């Protein structure tokens, strides 16, 4: 995204964004994430100009630590491969850095910084005492054997382990990093350190320190937020037609929870194309194809005669009542947003990180369509990671029902906080401003208390 595409900022926010552009050239995703937050902060800085003192904004957009390292590993044919690893420890004012690891060819420093910056405010909204960080690699686990994934994860952790700790930095999974990868990473951490620090990674298996609902949490949490957004408007998900992008953990469990609350989910996608099943997606079949076998979503249409598969294209071509973008950043643009609005869209909740472009967000807001940004709507994953950390610290575990109830309560609290904060700043119903300002105020208070560090 070019500089010209950004709305004009004023005052301290403008000066800070100019510095972001100058000091971080060639990082469009990070520029976009920083601009979105700084644009919202104009309202609060006008009321509380002291929050711009002591270069607080400048410190906020500068990571506390940026790690980039070589990850050599050997494939099954004996060939040595080299990938690049990242960990950006962005802001630890509220607690240990917390945020996932993403293994995908698109990963670069800009992507990791945008994700880490978003994580600051997302984590602050949970109220659970965790700072913001993110990491990953341009390694692609697709098509790799278990042995190759293991060797890569072991090499990755051999460098990263020295920067981790349950009171320092606690990674989790993200795109390309599921239970298999977390297992290999934790095994190597334990091997190197000779310590069983269960709280150093989250998303672990249930038999060795994991939490119930962690796998489902981001998708479930997104739908809990969506349901609350509809509830305060006197509506619900019953008989609503829904489209979910992606078909990984977040998407699958967003589909599961949306169905539980009465929605009919008719479309989902992967990187190759999308499926449409007007009778409602067969969730068990989708789980078998995408989660159990890591197959392609096209197989769904091969096995369900009335379903159709569209090669390429965008799942947002399918009209719906509610949209849940759960795949990746900037997947839903202004044209797609206008198409959805034209066909009766009534709400959007982001299950992924920044999946809607600024133009798309503007279209939704201008049309009066309630829009929940990812830093609020997809906070359920990191919230449940924090619950996993609490269980690890106490060497205990909670039931699925208990953890799910806690997750629901956290998401309802985040929704209420965003709504109240927006109203306080004369932007009734603006969840983007509410999330950004509420998260910022919590972080700013801690940063101010700590002095210039």
Distance separating alpha carbons of residues 106 and 352, to the nearest angstrom: 15
Tens digit of pLDDT at every position of the chain (453 positions): 444 468 899 999 999 999 999 999 999 999 999 999 999 998 899 889 999 899 999 999 999 999 999 999 999 999 999 999 999 999 999 999 999 999 999 999 999 999 999 999 999 999 999 999 999 999 999 999 999 999 999 999 999 999 999 999 999 999 999 999 999 999 999 999 999 999 999 999 999 999 999 999 999 999 999 999 999 999 999 999 999 999 999 999 999 999 999 999 999 999 999 999 999 999 999 999 999 998 999 999 999 999 999 999 999 999 999 999 999 999 999 999 999 999 999 999 999 999 999 999 999 999 999 999 999 999 999 999 999 999 999 999 999 999 999 999 999 999 999 999 999 999 999 999 999 999 999 999 999 999 999
> How many CB atoms are closer than 10 A to CB 77?
6
- What radius of gyration, in Å, describes the C-alpha atoms of the chain? 21
Return the H-helix or E-strand segment holding 89. strand 80-91
Range list of H helices, 273-357: 283-287, 298-303, 334-342
Nearest to 271 by CA among 341, 153, 175: 175
Q: Which residues are known binding-site members for substrate? A: 98, 119, 122, 173, 385
Q: pTM of this prediction?
A: 0.94
Count of alpha carbons within 13 Å of 426, Cβ hemisphere only? 5
> Are both 1-62+429-453 and 65-196 of the same fold?
no
Instruction: Name the DSSP class of 165.
Output: B
Whole-number pLDDT of residue 5: 65
Q: Identify the pLDDT of residue 43.
A: 83
Could you tell me which residues are annotated as the binding site for NAD(+)?
218, 249
pLDDT on residue 4: 44
What the block records as the tokens of 230 is 């509809």
Give the helix ranges, DSSP H, for 56-145.
Answer: 56-60, 109-126
The pLDDT score that the predictor gives to residue 382 is 96
Q: In what order do the strands lie in the sheet with 347-349?
A: 308-311, 273-276, 264-269, 241-244, 322-324, 347-349, 371-372
Annotated binding site: 98, 119, 122, 173, 218, 249, 385
Active site residues: 134
CATH architecture classification, 217-369: 3-Layer(aba) Sandwich (3.40)
| Diameter over CA atoms, the chain | 64
Mean per-residue pLDDT of the chain? 96
Position 7 scores a pLDDT of 84
d(CA 346, CA 192): 51
- Alpha carbons 240 and 311: distance in angstroms, whole number: 26
Q: How many CB atoms lie within 10 A of CB 67?
A: 18
Spatial separation of the C-alpha atoms in residues 152 and 142, rounded to whole Å: 13
pLDDT of residue 263: 98
Kindly tell me the burial class for residue 59, based on how many C-beta atoms sit within 10 Å of its own C-beta (0-12, 13-18, 19 or more): middle
- CB under 8 Å to 288, separation ≥6 — which residues? none
SS3 382: helix
The yes/no answer on whether domain 65-196 falls in CATH 3.40.50.10860 is yes
pLDDT at 270: 95
- Give per-residue pLDDT as tens, 146-193: 999 999 999 999 999 999 999 999 999 999 999 999 999 999 999 999
Q: For 278, phi and psi rounded to 5 degrees?
A: -65, -20
State the Cα–Cα distance between residues 93 and 109, nearest whole angstrom.
22
Place of tokens 């920083």: 34
Question: What is the rounded distance in angstroms from the CA atom of residue 153 to the CA atom of residue 212?
Answer: 24
d(CA 83, CA 136): 10
- CATH top-level class of 1-62+429-453: mainly alpha
Query: What is the pairing mode between strands 308-311 and 322-324?
Result: unpaired
Is residue 116 within 8 A of residue 81, CB to CB? The reply is no
Nearest alpha carbon to residue 241 among 206, 296, 278, 274: 278
Buried b / exposed e across 333-371, counting CB within 10 Å, b at 16+? bbebbbbbbeeebbbbbbbbbbbbbbbbbebbbeeebbb
Stated length of the chain: 453
Alpha-carbon span 361 to 372, nearest angstrom: 10
H helices of 238-289, in order, are 249-260, 283-287
Show me where the domains of the chain are located.
Answer: 1-62+429-453, 65-196, 217-369
Would you state the pLDDT for residue 1?
Answer: 40
Beta bridge partners of residue 324, listed in sequence order? 244
Q: Retrieve residue 181's tokens.
A: 């990868």
Q: Say if residues 71 and 135 touch (Cβ distance below 8 Å).
A: no
Residues 326 and 226: their CA atoms lie apart, in Å, by: 13
């Amino acid at each position: 995204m070019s500089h010209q595409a950004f709305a004009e900022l004023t005052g301290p926010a403008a000066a800070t964004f100019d510095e972001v552009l100058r000091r971080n050239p060639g990082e469009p995703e990070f520029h976009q994430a920083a601009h979105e937050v700084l644009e919202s902060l104009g309202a609060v800085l006008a009321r509380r100009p002291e929050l711009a003192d002591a270069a607080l904004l400048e410190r906020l957009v500068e990571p506390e630590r940026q790690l980039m390292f070589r990850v050599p590993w050997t494939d099954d044919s004996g060939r040595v491969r080299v990938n690049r690893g990242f960990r950006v420890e962005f802001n630890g004012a509220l607690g240990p850095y917390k945020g996932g690891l993403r293994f995908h060819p698109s990963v670069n420093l800009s992507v990791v910084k945008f994700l880490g910056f978003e994580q600051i405010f997302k984590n602050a909204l949970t109220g659970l005492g965790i700072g913001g960080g993110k990491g990953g690699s341009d390694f692609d686990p697709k098509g790799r054997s278990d042995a190759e994934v293991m060797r890569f994860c072991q090499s990755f952790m051999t460098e990263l382990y020295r920067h981790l700790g349950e009171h320092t930095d606690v990674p989790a999974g993200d795109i390309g990093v599921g239970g298999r990868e977390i297992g290999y990473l934790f095994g190597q951490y334990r091997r190197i350190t000779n310590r069983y620090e269960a709280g150093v990674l989250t998303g672990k298996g249930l038999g060795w320190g994991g939490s119930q609902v962690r796998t489902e949490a981001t998708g479930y949490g997104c739908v809990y937020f969506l349901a609350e957004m509809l509830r305060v408007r006197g509506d619900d998900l019953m008989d609503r037609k829904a489209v979910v992008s992606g078909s990984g953990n977040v998407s699958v469990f967003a589909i599961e929870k949306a169905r539980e609350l009465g929605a009919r989910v008719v479309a989902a996608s992967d990187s190759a194309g999308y499926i449409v099943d007007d009778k409602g997606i067969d969730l068990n079949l989708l789980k078998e194809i995408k989660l159990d076998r890591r197959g392609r979503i096209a197989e769904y249409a091969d096995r369900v005669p009335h379903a159709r598969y569209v090669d390429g294209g965008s799942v947002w071509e399918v009209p719906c009542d509610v949209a849940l973008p759960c795949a990746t950043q900037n997947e839903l643009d202004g044209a797609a947003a206008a198409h959805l609005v034209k066909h009766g869209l009534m709400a959007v909740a982001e299950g992924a990180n920044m999946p809607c472009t600024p133009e798309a967000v503007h279209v939704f807001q201008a049309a009066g369509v309630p829009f929940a940004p990812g830093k609020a709507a997809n906070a359920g994953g990191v919230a449940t990671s924090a619950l996993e950390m609490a269980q690890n610290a106490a060497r205990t575990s909670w039931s699925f029902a208990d953890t799910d109830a806690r997750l629901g309560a956290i998401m309802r609290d985040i929704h209420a906080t965003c709504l109240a904060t927006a109203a306080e700043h004369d932007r009734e119903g603006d969840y983007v401003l509410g999330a950004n300002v509420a998260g910022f105020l919590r972080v700013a208070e801690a940063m101010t208390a700590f002095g210039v560090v």
